[in-house]
Structure 1
Amino acid sequence: MTPSWLRKRRRTPGAPVVPGGEEAFLSAASVRVRAAGGGVGAGRDIANNAFGPGSQVFDQRQYHLHTDGESPPVAWPLRIGRVPALASAFQPRAALRERIDATMSAESPAALVLSGGGGVGKSQLAASYAAEAVREATDLVLWIPASDVHQVIAAYAHAAVLVDAPGTAGSRPDEDARAFLSWLATTSRSWFVVLDDVTDPAGMEPWWPPHRDGSVRTLATTRLHDARLTGAARRRVDVDVYTLQEARGYLAGRLRADGCDHLLDEAAYDLVQELGCLPLALGHAAAYLINQGTPCAVYLDRFRDSGRRLDQLLPPEGDTEGYGRRVAAGLLLSLHAAQRSEPRGLAEPALALVARLDPAGHPHAVWDVEPVLSFLTHFREGAYAKRRWWRRATPPVPVTAEEAHAALRTLHRYGLISSDPRDELRAVRCHALTGRAVRETVAEEYGISVSAAAANGLLAVWPESDDAFPEMGVVLRANTAALARRTGADLWHPVCLPLLDRAGRSLGGFHHAAESIAYHEWLIGRNERHLGVDHENTLAARDRLAFSYRDMNRFQDATSLMERNLAHVESRLGWEHPETLAAAAMLAASLRMGGQHEEAAPLEGRILAVIERLSGESHPGIRFARSAMLQCRALAGRPEDGVALGEELLAEYERSLGQDHHETVWTRTTLARNYASTGRSEEAVTMQQQVVAHHRRTDGPEHPETVAARAELASLYRKAGRTDEALLLQEEIVAIREGTFGHEHPFTLEARFAYAASLEQSGRVADAIALLADVLTAQEQALGPEHVQATLTRLLIHEFRLKAANALGQDLVDEIDAPAED
């Protein structure tokens, strides 16, 4: 038997020749066979034959029209194409409709293009407008699935016959389609055309309906964000997911319509948020709840279970609203086309990386750094394909930052992500369900490589000073948390550990105490499980947690952690090792801060004895221990000893580390405080002025380190009795911190606290108390009522009130003792 691919096409003798010859009909977009008025149309074989009036078939080779005499008159109004039924609990989306209507009326575009990602409800909106056109008795309502331009041409050709458009010959679909467009441009009949799911802007360019009478008669939907869709006076309106209110309204309405009100519970609000308010997902989820009789709370727990896949939680049988595809497939429908677009082969690996990060967004700068570019280079389509052993592997061409950003724009254009360079911090976003669909499908082949690239990309853009860029720290920590949730144990691979450590260090400082405690308690648990209880990263996390416990007045918890770390380091390295001394010094300072002076004294004695024996050695651990002893002197109420030790340390550090080393600068500040405590106020001010000058020179006048040094100088002015100078400087600091961090930020509250102390010293006690009361309210909200800063504010308010009461009492006594006037 001759194989089908070798057979030659034979034409039956006497058969009619298609006008234009074989080449013409083979090049046609699609061909149609239609029988009208008793005619018979023959296609390729019996499967492609049309028999009887009104029957028709589309064929890829030929287009015949057989008519029986004159065409019957057109029966107006005409409804061509299948308009999707509106969802069972269709949401009118009033705000979005208002925006669409405003664009229609204000700009009168040639066509309105509804653009948005998969499953956001574009077709439902278009269907609602088509339904309105039907209700308004529009003469022609035409709905065309427009994912393929060939479908559009064929639909136009079909409509040309039905409306009896002049020039319809029935031989070539493209000619009949043009006849239909000409009819639209000249007819007095009203018409409304919907082009649903446009995917080829270039191919569609000659096939857009004409602009008539200044009114919008064409509506298109697309996943694309492509400039070609908005040429020729067309306008785009972006369609996003439901609002929270709309999502809840849909879920409640859908369940109530099926008599399943009992499935709605307190978890419904969290469920719609977890589904990202995506109409596609809500439709499937509602059907699942109804079919399984599952309450929202139970379903939410299942949905959050990372072991369950989307196809289990949003199964195909849940497609009761006619979306026509699985959720994961629907969300990623355009990925294949994006992968074929320039820069070729980068869309998929780029999307795999985006899907690992926070859906709310990450900085564009992540796509400029080497770890991410190396990942894209390695996984560019074809670059990592297996090669035969006898073929010499050619090194892949490195992906540039320009290409990486172009890949993001491609994903944006195909509606898979949102990429907005104007948003410096959260420029690249991805819907949570799109990200989950990616992780469950295409991302699996990238293994730990994608997590390592994401981790090191975040680390590479993390600023050196978190206080200088606080909003960036918030975004990067959110992305670290998202990466940890999606990567699991793999994030504890050695190449990823630095990111977890950096996120913890970014929470240093009293203003992050509560968040730091939550993060480090979580991190220590994971570190102990994946790395071991005595791993260096576990020890470092315990130290940071102990500092945060101190900030929250949890001194006993802090002491327990430090004792545990000290016991481990001493057993491993011995008592006289510098790291052991550093751990012991941290514990001693913590004991002093907690008022446990009797426990701290013998520990300090042991530390000082070793430091004396190791004099001359310059190890960071020893320097840290000596600096901690300087702090302990002040906490023990022995500032004179602190001055002697501080002067010794400062001279040594200036000689060995240099004038501008951060340990030298820190020692100057500590020494200045001890000078002030011993009554050497002017020396304290002079010393701190040197610190301020250093930071101005190295960091700039409004850098957080400079502002903190100036705040310390203002405090020393106040202690020296230079109250007016303190007030002037503190007013500047409050203004700077309000402008940088906001009115309620802990740094701003700290500055206002210090300003209140100077107000009281200047005699404005009532103003000071009122200001402190406002500060306390804000501190309790921002830091928590147990935070050490809130505690200090309460104590100072109490102290000022006592002073005010004593002053009032003394005034009364003086008034009573005053001699009576004659």
Structure 2
Amino acid sequence: MTGNGSTFFGPTGAMWGDGNIQNNTFVSAPRPPATLPHQVGVVPLRARSFQHRAEADRLRSAVSAGETVVLCQLLVGMGGVGKTQLAADFAHQAWDEGTLELLVWITASSREDIVSGYARAGVEVCGADPRDREEAAGMFLAWLRAKRHQWLVVLDDLAEPDDLRGLWPPETPNGRTLVTTRSREPALLGTGRRRIEVGLFTPDEAVAYLSSALAVHGRTESRHDLAGLASDLGYLALALSQAAAYIADRKMGVTEYRDLLADRRRRLADALPRANRLPDDQTVTVTAVWSLSLDRADQQEPVGAARPLMQLLALGDPNGVPVAVLYGRSVERFYVAAMPDLVPVWGIVGRGLQVLHRLSLIQEINTAYGTVRVHALVQRATRESLPADQHHAYARAMGDALLALWPEIDGGDPLLALTLRANTANLIACADEALVQAAVHPLLSRYGRSLGEAGLEGVSRDHFQSIVALARRLRGSEDPDILTAQWELARWQGEAGDAAGAASTLRQLLADTARQNGPDHLNTLLVRSSLAHWQGKAGDPDGAVVGLAQVLDDFRRILHDTHPLTLDTRASLAHWRGETGDPDCAVTALAQVVRDRLTSQGWDHPGTLNNMGSLAEWQGRAGDPAAAVSCFAELLPVVERVLGTDHPYTLSVRGDLAHWRGEAGDPTGAAAALGQLLTEARRILGPNHPRTKVIHSRLAHWQQGPREPGLPE
């Protein structure tokens, strides 16, 4: 049918009849193929502030290192890294260059979507019958194979490799295929296909993007503020885009926005634009992207395993959660309760991690160190999806798992200790109340001691101050757990250099402990012993001797002479008797303590190592530097083996050994050893740590040069 110079393509028909009966027959006329060049589907608009990045250059390179034409490229990465924008930029540039005759963009979230996209292309390009989608899709794929036109097919957001089974565009020299996906399935790879990992922006790229995105709205911000915001958002492209839109829409400053983002009382969604205010034609917020990914992961085999695993990972350090944490008994009960038919648990964990990695919800599994990396914003979105009661349960389970993994002594594996501290710090930051509300979790004490023993005495003190304050707020001041935390607080107050503050804390604690537990309770005696020690450190050695002698009598009466608490008190009393002017008594008493330690606890016990060091020190101070050198030389290899070469106590033993070598007549050897030790102490502890300053002072002494003002002898 023609009319007004145009042609109608669509249903046509004929009418005939006999009398009052009329018959109508309609026939669909085929649509003629579109004139090339032609686009099928809607290519997303270029982002207004599209940030060029290395992945774009790799994408535009059509030749691999072996000079073999790359017919299919896959952009792979977690949700929100900018895969779609990279693909759209590539498609727009290829089209603008005028080399393409056909550009097809298909949202490939399901097999049905892919078939529908191919069918539409078949109708538009091949004139296929729209009533038969499968036939139309097949005609389009056949056209791609047979024709010699230059074409590009983009399959955006492919969910499952199986969705493309039998539907991959053909491998022809005149065609290119580009796929974006979160899946790392090996099935996606094959001859002629190249995977390009799309990661986070670099810090410079992120700052450049934010600067450009805000400049569109007439905003100019300092590079320092933008760098801080980029870091807060983990350099994730989608998060940066939506944060810039929120800042511009609300007309707020970057610093104000960062405060909003850091506010633990607010959810991540509160710092993102509403769905109708998203930039660059985006359709979902960054939190929704990950929620959909997790839903997809939870449907993979073993069904239901991925979500609880991700919820545990969300509580750890984004830079590395120990895989061993996920295999602990405390974690096992969650899986057994949720999925009693899925055993053994270790198999579920391993397969669940594989699913999360395939869908890019976890960034990598570092087999060398046994850790899993998760983006911090993914963690936050996952945590915020948990109801409060589940959040508390998972937090305590994570605490149990970290504590079970923590060795009694940190020094054997410094990297493990560092990893456990980082994970505990993150757990405390996002779930401190869960770790205190029902009971003060013992992980909190282990973490604080690890900090102090690593030379971070001030950080340990601040940690225990926070725990005491939180526990008082949540549970009242009379709770027994608070008394334990206060005792730890006093210890690290003193170790951080505030002996008077430690003594003051312990005096108040003694009154509370004695009132709650009675005068002969071990906790009361322990507080008395600690108080006497810090009284001595605060300048009252005579008072320390009196107090320790009294509490030692009580320990011997209630326990026995070689009980660890009795041995601790005996060693402390010996030290303060030496400080009051009787070094020979200190040597005699400490030698007996060391013998008793070796018999009851062995060489490797921390108490033995500490008492052996004290004995060596008092041997030197009693006028026998050669004996001190011999004792420290015997102690050093044991300390290095048990605690590690970088442990603060190991550094102290090395410094003491060098010093007494000088006192024994080898000043040159002492200076050489202390010079090497000073370099290591600055690296490990920092230049301003008290131990580093002591080493520096001793080095200056044995070099017979001037000492820096304020440095201790």
Residues in 1 aligned to 2:426 and 2:131: alpha-carbon distance in whole angstroms:
59
Q: 1:435/1:630 Cα in 2 relative to 1: closer, same or farther (>3 Å)? A: same
2-structure distance, mates of 1:748, 1:406: 42
1:505, distance to aligned residue in structure 2 (A): 2.2
Distance 1:512 1:199, change over 3 A: same
Change beyond 3 A, Cα 1:439–1:244:
same
Partner of 1:566: 510
**Partner of 2:81 in structure 1?**
120
The code of the aligned residue for 2:41 comes to G
Question: Does structure 2 conserve the Cα–Cα contact (< 8 Å) formed by 1:549 and 1:557?
Answer: yes
CA distance in 2, matches of 1:488, 1:666: 33
Choose the corresponding residue for 1:405, options 339, 343, 350.
Answer: 350
User: Given the alignment of the two structures, is residue 66 of structure 1 paired with residue 29 of structure 2, yes or no?
Assistant: yes
Q: Conserved in 1, the CA contact under 8 Å of 2:10 and 2:28?
A: no
Structure 1 residues 527 and 779: CA distance shift in structure 2, 3 A: farther
- Given the alignment of the two structures, is residue 151 of structure 1 paired with residue 96 of structure 2, yes or no? no
In 2, Cα distance between equivalents of 1:679 and 1:770:
23
The unaligned stretches of length 5 or more in structure 2 are: 1-5, 13-26, 708-713
Q: Give runs of aligned pairs for residues 554-593 of structure 1, distance below 5 A.
A: 554-575=498-519, 577-593=521-537
Deviation string, structure 1 residues 120-146 (Cα, Å, up to 9, x no partner): 110000011101111221111111111
1:85 counterpart = 2:56: no
**Are residue 471 (structure 1) and residue 415 (structure 2) matched?**
yes
> 1:578, 1:272 → 2: CA distance?
52
What is the CA-CA distance between 1:433 and the residue it aligns to? 2.0
- Percent of pairs with identical residues: 30
Instruction: Tell me the C-alpha RMSD between the 2 structures.
Output: 3.6
- Deviation, 1:288, is 1.5
Which stretch has the larger CA shift, 137-146 or 481-490? 481-490
3-state DSSP of counterpart to 1:112? strand
In the alignment, residue 451 of structure 2 is paired with which amino acid? Answer: L
Whether the 8 Å contact between 1:283 and 1:318 is mirrored in structure 2 is no
Written as runs of structure 1 = structure 2, the 5 A alignment for 1:325-344 is: 325-344=284-303
2:267 is aligned with 1:309 = yes
Q: Is 2:673 the partner of 1:703? A: no
- Asked if residue 257 in structure 1 is aligned to residue 216 in structure 2, the reply is yes
Q: Of the candidates 165, 170, 180, which is equivalent to residue 140 of structure 2?
A: 180
Asked if 1:229 is matched to 2:188, the reply is yes
Contact 2:452–2:458, Cα closer than 8 Å, also in 1:
no
CA offsets, 1:505-563, max 9 Å, x none? 22232622233233223223223323444544433333434443444433222322233
1:203 aligns to 2:147 (yes or no): no
Do the aligned partners of 1:514 and 1:783 also contact (CA within 8 Å) in 2?
Answer: no
1:132 maps to 93
CA distance in 1, matches of 2:545, 2:480: 28
Q: Report if the CA contact (8 A) 2:632-2:653 is conserved.
A: no
| Paired amino acid for 2:358 | R
- Paired residue type of 2:580: A
Distance 2:543 2:688 in 1: 24
* Structure 1 residues 433 and 217, CA gap change in structure 2 (3 angstroms): same
Whether contact under 8 Å (1:611, 1:626) holds in the other structure is no
Whether 1:374 aligns to 2:337 is no
Q: Is the 8 A contact 2:625 2:661 kept in 1?
A: no
In structure 1, how many angstroms separate the alpha carbons of the residues matched to 2:386 and 2:457? Answer: 39
The aligned length equals 684
SS in structure 2 at match of 1:641: helix
Q: Is the 8 A contact 1:118 1:415 kept in 2?
A: yes
Q: Aligned partners of 1:472 and 1:103: how far apart in 2?
A: 44
> 1:364 touches 1:421 (CA, 8 Å); kept in 2?
no
Within a 5 Å distance, the mapping from 1:401-800 to structure 2 comes to 401-425=346-370, 427-442=371-386, 446-494=390-438, 497-509=441-453, 511-533=455-477, 535-575=479-519, 577-607=521-551, 610=554, 620-646=564-590, 648-649=592-593, 667=611, 670-679=614-623, 703-705=641-643, 737=645, 741=646, 746=648, 750=652, 753=655, 757=659, 779=681, 783=685, 787-800=689-702
Bigger Rg, which one: 1
**Residues 581, 621 of structure 1: 8 Å contact kept:** no
Sort the Cα spacing of 1:208 and 1:762 in 2 relative to 1 into closer, same or farther, 3 A: farther
The offset of 1:487, in angstroms, is 2.1
Structure 1 residues without counterparts, runs of 5 or longer? 1-35, 43-63, 384-395, 696-700, 708-736, 806-822
> Partner letter of residue 704 of structure 1?
V
* Range that drifts further, 98-107 or 498-507: 98-107
C-alpha distance after superposition, 1:551-579 (max 9, x if no partner): 44332223222333333334444555544
Distance in 2 of aligned mates of 1:442 and 1:580: 41
Q: 1:759: how far off? A: 7.7
The answer to whether residue 320 in structure 2 is matched with residue 361 in structure 1 is yes
Shift of 1:346: 1.3
Shift of 1:747: 6.3
Change (3 A) 1:798 1:536: farther
**Equivalent pair of 2:383/2:391 in contact (CA under 8 Å):** no
Q: Does 1:218 align with 2:174?
A: no
Structure 2 letter corresponding to 1:415: S
**Cα deviation, residue 751, structure 1:** 6.7
Distance 1:787 1:434, change over 3 A: closer
CA positional deviation for 1:202: 1.0
SS at match of 1:193: strand
Distance verdict in 2 for CA 1:330–1:689, change over 3 Å: closer
